[in-house]
């Protein structure tokens, strides 16, 4: 075998090897990349933005915690988003917290959310994703989210530490805790 055929492969492989030490940011190695690709060396939680989703708690005007949540448009006459049956399970239902609050496990709950008459168990066993018209036909007419609050902790941390979430709920001002 010729050395000229092996040499490029050896060079590529050896270029990927480097000694352990401080990591090199992409922007240091490739300064010509656009700014959006550069790595922000700020430690997690200390920068202006964080890609980690924050936990969300919400209240409803009824007992809908076992019902699939969809998001409607501002007029509440059309769908903005809805899950496929494979995207939900019984484990998708929110965690019941203090004072009637629910901890969102799926993400996306807001004041324009609506509840379907399908439970998470029923919906997850549907053979196919319902059409928007079918989903709208299953919206519980007067079921509403009455309050939504984003917590100052990541969603995964909140799910693992519900005592902290309940402590946060108990410190909310009365104006943020409307009765259902």
Instruction: Give the mean pLDDT of 54-58.
Output: 94
Enter the tokens of residue 79. Answer: 């769908």
Confidence of residue 175 (pLDDT cuts 50, 70, 90): low
70: nearest Cα among 57, 87, 55: 87
Confidence of residue 113 (pLDDT cuts 50, 70, 90): very high
Half-sphere exposure of residue 32: CA atoms within 13 angstroms, side-chain side: 0
Global confidence as pTM: 0.68
The region, left, alpha or beta by phi > 0 then psi within -120 to 50, assigned to residue 52 is: beta
- Give the whole-angstrom CA distance, residue 68 versus residue 129: 13
Confidence of residue 173 (pLDDT cuts 50, 70, 90): confident
- Give the whole-angstrom CA distance, residue 118 versus residue 135: 9
Q: Is the pLDDT of residue 82 over 90?
A: yes
Instruction: Give the mean pLDDT of 122-146.
Output: 96
Instruction: Give the mean pLDDT of 132-147.
Output: 96
List helix spans (H) across the chain. 3-15, 26-29, 120-124, 132-137, 155-160, 162-170
Q: To the nearest whole percent, how much of the chain has pLDDT over 90? A: 63
Question: What's the pLDDT at 26?
Answer: 36
- Give the whole-angstrom CA distance, residue 166 versus residue 164: 5
* 74 vs 22 pLDDT, higher one: 74
Q: Is the pLDDT of residue 4 over 90?
A: no
Q: pLDDT tens, 12-52?
A: 444 444 444 443 333 344 344 333 333 344 455 555 555 67
Q: In angstroms, what CA-CA distances link 105 with 7, 58, 81, 142, 161? A: 53, 11, 16, 23, 13
């Amino acid at each position: 075998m010729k050395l000229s055929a092996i040499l490029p492969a050896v060079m590529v492989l050896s270029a990927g090897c480097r000694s352990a030490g401080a990591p090199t940011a992409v922007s240091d190695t490739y300064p010509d990349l656009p700014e959006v690709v550069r790595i922000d060396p700020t430690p997690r939680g200390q920068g202006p933005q964080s890609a980690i989703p924050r936990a969300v708690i919400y209240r409803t005007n009824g007992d809908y915690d076992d019902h699939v949540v969809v998001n409607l448009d501002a007029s509440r006459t059309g769908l903005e988003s809805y899950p496929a049956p494979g995207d939900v399970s019984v484990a998708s239902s929110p965690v019941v917290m203090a004072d009637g609050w629910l901890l969102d496990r799926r993400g996306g709950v807001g004041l324009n959310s609506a509840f379907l008459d399908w439970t998470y168990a029923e919906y997850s066993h549907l053979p196919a994703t319902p059409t928007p018209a079918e989903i709208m036909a299953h919206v519980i007419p007067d079921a509403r989210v009455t309050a939504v609050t984003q917590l100052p902790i990541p969603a995964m941390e909140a799910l693992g530490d519900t005592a902290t979430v309940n402590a946060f709920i108990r410190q909310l001002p009365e104006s943020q805790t409307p009765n259902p």
